[in-house]
Amino acid sequence: MAAKAPFKRSAMKLHARKLKVALIQKQYSHDSASNIAANSEAIHDAAHSGAKLVILPELHNSQYFCQTENIKCFDIAETIPGPSTRLYGHLARKLKIVLVCSLFEKRATGLYHNTAVALDKDGSIAGRYRKMHIPDDPGYYEKFYFTPGDLGFKPIKTSVGNLGVMVCWDQWYPEAARLMALAGADMLIYPTAIGWNSHDKPDEQDRQMDAWTTIQRSHAIANGLHVLSVNRTGTERATASKSKIDFWGSSFVAGPQGELIARAIASKEETLIAELDLDRSETVRRAWPFLRDRRIDEYNGLDRRFLT
């Protein structure tokens, strides 16, 4: 596959479609009020740096409560619209930014989702995405808390583009990224909360973080889209058990060929600012026309559990 030199488009367009984004990588405490205050401060700083799209990590109002199965944790769930969409919507309007939040949604009594919400620059709820793939492994007991989403893989239309927002475990599924791309996403966005178990040896830790980066970069490549992945950082200890997670930070922005455009460090808070050139998708999809050649006549097994 050779890259082809595209025709110069400069005569045809006056403005490149650039978008400055901010990925807020934070460490969270047991105190929700202070988490929200810290998020608010970071959002202000990001907006003052010129970011027009600001993204917070998964479930950013609290510590990652899924380390244990604790029925009291449902107390922190909230409706959408609700207190958080009001608070963060106010910020989005005040700062004239699009803000992607990640909330523990109470949909009905006994029915909860892990939900991302995009708030537009007028403060309105542009749309929501309910996490579709729900993990469950030691320290990540999400199947206890979250019903799998039922809204499908639909980009959220905002004033800065169609946002292919998904959440954490979704990032391991090429099907999810592809469906977002086919539905017209301009970029893929993953708020996430992922880290190391202290029992893992360094080589296993390296493989895990590298795999996490690689699979998300591959979604950029397969679909010719930018990928924005926002993780939390720092160590969180579960109060009711000996469990702890070292969240590995390393939030990143990849371009439409999977190239790393910006990357945060692993172990500290950081607001990662990057400028996306949204016209790159056009150039890359012309040179690598993967969408042209999909064998849709032969993909019917993908909606089966297994084929043997």
Asked about 73 being catalytic, the answer comes back as: no
219 and 174 in contact (C-beta within 8 Å)? yes
The nearest distance, CB 272 to its own copies, in angstroms, is 20
Considering beta carbons, is residue 191 or 195 the nearer one to its own copies?
195
Let me know if 131 is a catalytic residue. yes
In whole angstroms, how close is the CB of 172 to its own copies at the nearest point?
A: 5
* Alpha-carbon gap, residue 63 to 76, rounded angstroms: 11
| Nearest in space to 3 (alpha carbons), one of 300, 306, 285, 293 | 285
Q: Name which of 41 and 204 has its Cβ closer to its own copies.
A: 204
Please report how the helices 174-182 and 202-223 are oriented relative to each other, as an axis angle in degrees rounded to 10. 20
- Separation of first and last alpha carbons in the chain: 34
Strand spans (E) along the chain: 18-25, 53-55, 98-108, 111-119, 125-130, 156-158, 161-165, 187-191, 195-197, 226-230, 233-237, 244-248, 252-254, 260-263, 270-277
Residues 194 and 213: their CA atoms lie apart, in Å, by 11
**What single DSSP character describes residue 121?**
T
Q: Report, in Å, the least distance between residue 102 CB and its own copies.
A: 17
DSSP type of residue 155: P
Question: Which residue's CB is nearer to its own copies, number 48 or number 295?
Answer: 295
Least distance from C-beta 247 to its own copies, angstroms?
A: 11
* Smaller CB separation from its own copies, 60 or 178: 178
Other Cβ atoms closer than 10 A to 160: 21
**Is 72 annotated in the active site?**
no
- Out of 20, 106, 142, 168, the active site residue is 168
Closest distance between its own copies and the C-beta of residue 63, in Å? 16
Minimum CB distance to its own copies smaller for 40 or for 162: 162
CB 213 within 8 A of CB 248: no
Identify which of residues 93 and 244 has a Cβ nearer to its own copies in the complex. 244
Nearest to 191 by CA among 62, 102, 67, 80: 102
Catalytic residue among 52, 58, 101, 106: 58
Query: Residues for the chain: how many in total?
Result: 308
- Of 20, 52, 106, 131, the catalytic one is 131
Q: How many CA atoms are closer than 13 Å to the CA of 291, on its beta-carbon side?
A: 20
Distance separating alpha carbons of residues 265 and 287, to the nearest angstrom? 32
At 223, which amino acid appears?
Answer: N
CB of 279 to its own copies, least distance (A): 16
Tell me the catalytic residues.
58, 131, 168
